[in-house]
Structure 1
Amino acid sequence: MRFHTRKWVKPEDLNANGTLFGGRLLAWIDEEAALYSIIQLENKKVVTKYMSEINFMSSAVEGDIVEIGIEALKFGASSLVLSCEVRNKMTRETIVTVDQIVMVNLGKDGQPLPHNKTKVEFVKDRLANKS
């Protein structure tokens, strides 16, 4: 799994217990899944269809740095299935895991659109192929 993004836990990210608010963390995960999918599918119109069970394993407090890892599991006709792990950068302790996040590629009409992708591609490889 590649950890693409780091977030610094700030006071506005905390719940009443003084730990990272789960809703904030889920928003970060959803955004990261969308960004990953947009880059992989080369389309800005991508939406979250489904998130499987979300397993909160530990927490984070103000000042912690968390990193979000995303991995592509499967390419469907118009979808991309991802998994996610968020961990504390300093302790390496897993904060949350999401086994499956299903992202759907959309056309201009807002309907699912086949993306014709079958494997993970890296931007540097796309650029090399266009030269």
Structure 2
Amino acid sequence: MRFLSRRLVMPSDLNYANSLFGGRALEWIDEEAAIYAICQLETNVLVTKHIGEISFESPAMVGDVVEFGLATKKVGKTSITVSCLVRNKITKKTICFADDIVFVKLDPETRLPLPHGKTLEGLELQTKQEISRLV
């Protein structure tokens, strides 16, 4: 799992118990996972089709830096399935885990599913090449 993004928990992100509101965490997960899928499939014409199990493990408080780890689980003909782990940057404690987040590529005009031409193996190679260029 690659940790690609971070956010600072602000007062406006809190629930009545003064910890990160679950709805805000889900909003962030959907956005971060969508950005990841867009980069993997090299298209921004994607929609969220499904978010599977979400497990909240520990709270995040004001001032905490949370980071988002993302990994590709499966690649279909028109879809990509990813997992997202949200954890505290400093303590490394898991805040929540969202599994089986499915995005589908659409034709921009018809809004129907469209093959993306990617494979899991190809995306793994693409990621290795991207990482080697960073070093």
Q: TM-score, normalised by structure 1?
A: 0.91
Residue equivalent to 1:110: 111
Size of the alignment, in residue pairs? Answer: 126
Q: Tell me, in whole angstroms, the C-alpha distance in 2 between the residues paired with 1:59 and 1:2.
A: 22
Runs (5+) with no aligned partner, structure 1: none
**Following the alignment from structure 2 to structure 1, what is the Cα–Cα distance between the partners of residues 129 and 27?**
28
The two structures have a TM-score, normalised by structure 2, of 0.89
1:15 aligns with 2:23: no
Quick one: which amino acid aligns to residue 21 of structure 2?
Answer: F
Aligned-pair RMSD on alpha carbons?
Answer: 1.5
Q: 1:27-73: per-residue Cα shift (whole Å, max 9, x none)?
A: 00000111111111111110110011100000100000000111001
Shift of 1:7: 0.4
Residue identity matched to 2:84: C
1-side partners of 2:42 and 2:60: how far apart? 33
Question: Greater helix percent: which structure?
Answer: 2
Percent pairwise identity: 50
Distance 2:88 2:128 in 1: 27
CA distance in 2, matches of 1:20, 1:98: 16
Gap runs ≥5 in structure 2: none
Matched, 1:93 2:93: yes
